[in-house]
Structure 1
């Protein structure tokens, strides 16, 4: 597999190098990935008391290294790669090579001054995309290419290469009608009707719900279903400057149906800035009863923006009014109705902005309806009218990113262009899990007797089985045949074990 990867990387114009395993922690701190990776980052302190980490990826250190050697636009574009052991402190390593603390990875990084043109990031991204197709095709894998979220790596666009496998740990959403495919975090959902015009069908009633941490228990107690409940998730801007300068919201309420999951990336896209879960202590201090929050808190807490998923509008999916948190611990409400609770403070289905009052007290600072949840099987396709999304399983073996200037900005990696203007370097990042690819081959191709290696990655292409290993004539014939095949460039293994023929045939 490594040979195939090297051949295709070299053909794509990349140059192999090797960078250190050990990365000073301050490099990760410079991009805040020490926080984003959290406990996944395998940290240690050396004898001098200096903090460091064993690299899970090497964007920071490769940027810092090349910053000192790439000083002119004439040295770009540049595409470098390595095949090296990486480390992640997985809480629960599982599935053998698929999810371990130590793994072999090919990571490549490209550097540019432009997005477009022959020397631009787009051209290298396309070349690496093609190289990845060639690699996984040569490995004999059945794979799909899907749109993906960038995660802690960051960047403006990315694609995952997923081996189609029923035992895979990742979910892929597919539209059979259009060929659209994306991972569950990235997948868009097609057009859905929404409205806040439904009239109240019941009075707002508060219920005592002690000792019921799960939504299913609460729904059963309230004689409704998870589909008939609303979840209001308290979030906040990742960058405090969004609200510290007075222009942006301090808090966000992401409202979804009770059986749906909020998608942080989609919330980010809806509001236009990075978001994260709200700090629990600060949120409680602001008045949010975490775990029991209702949409009404968007009116009650100044500086709160609310983003509502399409399916959380109207009335409950079971035809009754919504059930929500009651904004006090151990209590929930039934009979929630958007029109009654908010009046003119909500947009209509043609996206008319809500009315606002003269001050922030009791008035929504902003509200929006958007796709903010994870896609599910049966959701409308975003690419083909009338078609439905299907869920499939897969194993991620490759991921490519358009990083933009995230890392070059963090490390002040800028060079002079043709006009002698200093500009930040634009980066791309391209990873392949080499050991995961091997594991995916096994998951995709095996039977009750063991591994059936795809021919391109098999350790041997021909197996010569000696039925009578003690017979000199048989052994001589096997050696002669093996020499001839080896001379022709064929990898050969002779099974001369003193085992029964049946055992050898089974192992073969």
Structure 2
């Protein structure tokens, strides 16, 4: 393929709004063109990478025994109402109405539609187990698209769904998908760590994410160096510092002029933050909620949402707090009415805490749950942080940033019962299928590949996903000797089944070499009068610093050998 034909337009500098390395290189290498927030056009060069990623996914999903299907991206809203997720998805769900005033949704995921298909095709235990997958466009009205391809409003996902007769066979289907994911990410050149995760709006039981650890990530991951425990911060379990022991003492009202924060109150009264009771105000599905937690801890909003069974949880603004008669900085659950009080276990187990007196500049000493105040709901809703003790082995947890690359769930019978996915067992009894769900974001994987495979000069594609195997730089292509050598190189590469991008533009050698490094094909072959004087074609690999001049046939054979070895196929 000639660069003149491929519409490759590289940039010397990326737009200022491109903060992540992958975003900058995607734009500079001419792989994508932004259309609007969270929407990108793929150029022919970028689309070749997407297709290579999809090929790897298809090969490994097929090898795992999964069957490919194709489902509509436009869904009747009745399916989402049947599952209960029309309301749960809230504003994330794109809605539209057709000319007959029938309401539809653009699919953010496909549990409902795959369940519809399964309910009409699965009849007997003999049809199970089965795993169905597709590579399909998804739509989510993300409030804050970010990071180039990291968080989009329109994106491509490989989503798979398994159907089994019971939990034991679901475990086998889950393990098969898990192993396929490990192979997919390894082949794509993205190192991942499996971590425990929250299931979110999809629901279900066990859930794990495959996370690429990088400072460019938006997720916080808790890792234990002692036992290997790993979890997303939304899910991570830990052992908080123990409360101070003691016998319950009488409550005492104290004057705390101008002291509003936990640090200020603790210092003024000569106590530790873990001896205080923090009040945090939320709205859960638009209803006020009072949250009580020990002062040295923070609220995990995902755990809070799950504990409440809410669709959305958001902090109250100052105006709402005042309208409800709450005194920010001096609030406590003592005497609170008209709203549920959710208490973290830390606030219930501790004794003699300092909390607000519900009037400005006053606090109460020696507050105790059950005597001075009563929680409506008690749950573990504290956020794990670096240094907290691992619940498994007690070692201090460490934090890293990461990008979620894939997610696997054990859904159980949640959707099967709601959507009517049943089968007849061996005795003729009607039973719900036990389901699993497995997703990978294709564009996000492309961004992560670049984050994991680049240097100061540009992208360094892994062989399996590279848009082309080799970048051929032609210098002086108008000279007969160079033109003939270029034909020999292209023919030799094609004979080995290799695809090449040929830079035949009328640009300087410096620009061509910079663009070759920026675009990042695994091998670069330079054909020029100088290389011909030295005996042939100059070969240099993108991940190496040395070059060699070889006859065209030998250079092509060297590229083929390097590719085969990188893919684990041995010498060509």
TM-score, length of structure 1 as denominator length: 0.79
**Pairs within 5 Å for 1:235-314:** 254-258=291-295, 260-263=297-300, 266=303, 274=309, 277=313, 289=326, 294-297=331-334, 301=337, 307-310=343-346, 314=350
Give the deviation of 1:199 after TM superposition: 6.0
Contact 2:277–2:347 (CA under 8 A) maintained in structure 1? no
Q: 1:333 to 1:472 in 2, by over 3 A?
A: farther
Query: Distance in 1 between the 2:254 and 2:77 partners?
Result: 53
Q: 1:332 to 1:170 in 2, by over 3 A?
A: farther
**Pairs within 5 Å for 1:35-434:** 35-116=87-168, 120-190=169-239, 192-194=241-243, 197=246, 203-205=252-254, 227=273, 230-233=277-280, 254-258=291-295, 260-263=297-300, 266=303, 274=309, 277=313, 289=326, 294-297=331-334, 301=337, 307-310=343-346, 314=350, 322-324=354-356, 326-327=357-358, 331=360, 333-339=362-368, 342=369, 345=370, 364=374, 368=378, 371-385=380-394, 387-434=395-442
Q: Give the corresponding residue for 1:489.
A: 497
Q: For residues 195-245 of structure 1, what are the alpha-carbon distances to aligned partners after superposition, in whole Å with 9 as ceiling and x for unaligned?
A: 563666994236688xx9xx75x865997699475334578999xxxxxxx
Q: 1:311 to 1:405 in 2, by over 3 A?
A: same
Contact 2:218–2:401 (CA under 8 A) maintained in structure 1? yes
Q: Give the corresponding residue for 1:246.
A: none
Contact 1:196–1:338 (CA under 8 A) maintained in structure 2? no
Q: 1:191 to 1:261 in 2, by over 3 A?
A: closer
Secondary structure of 1:156's counterpart equals coil
Q: Give the corresponding residue for 1:17.
A: 69
Q: 1:75 to 1:333 in 2, by over 3 A?
A: farther
Contact 1:314–1:338 (CA under 8 A) maintained in structure 2? no
Q: 1:223 to 1:388 in 2, by over 3 A?
A: closer
Query: Distance in 1 between the 2:453 and 2:509 partners?
Result: 24
Contact 1:266–1:372 (CA under 8 A) maintained in structure 2? yes
Secondary structure of 1:98's counterpart equals coil
Secondary structure of 1:410's counterpart equals helix
**Once structures 1 and 2 are overlaid, which stretch shifts more, 444-453 or 178-187?**
444-453
RMSD: 3.7
Secondary structure of 1:456's counterpart equals coil
Contact 1:323–1:333 (CA under 8 A) maintained in structure 2? no
Does 1 or 2 have the higher relative contact order (CA < 8 Å, sep 6+)?
Answer: 1
TM-score, length of structure 2 as denominator length: 0.71
The count of aligned residue pairs is: 457
Q: 1:366 to 1:55 in 2, by over 3 A?
A: closer
Give the deviation of 1:469 after TM superposition: 2.0
Q: 1:198 to 1:412 in 2, by over 3 A?
A: same
Give the deviation of 1:251 after TM superposition: 10
Q: Give the corresponding residue for 2:480.
A: 472
1:438 maps onto 2:446 in alignment: yes
Q: For residues 36-87 of structure 1, what are the alpha-carbon distances to aligned partners after superposition, in whole Å with 9 as ceiling and x for unaligned?
A: 2111111112222122111010101110122122111111111111111111
Q: For residues 257-312 of structure 1, what are the alpha-carbon distances to aligned partners after superposition, in whole Å with 9 as ceiling and x for unaligned?
A: 3564323554588x7x73565999xx99xx88496795534x66499675334378
Q: Give the corresponding residue for 1:502.
A: 510
Secondary structure of 1:464's counterpart equals strand
Query: Distance in 1 between the 2:373 and 2:367 partners?
Result: 15
Q: Give the corresponding residue for 2:28.
A: none
Contact 1:306–1:367 (CA under 8 A) maintained in structure 2? yes
Give the deviation of 1:421 after TM superposition: 1.0
Contact 2:332–2:358 (CA under 8 A) maintained in structure 1? no
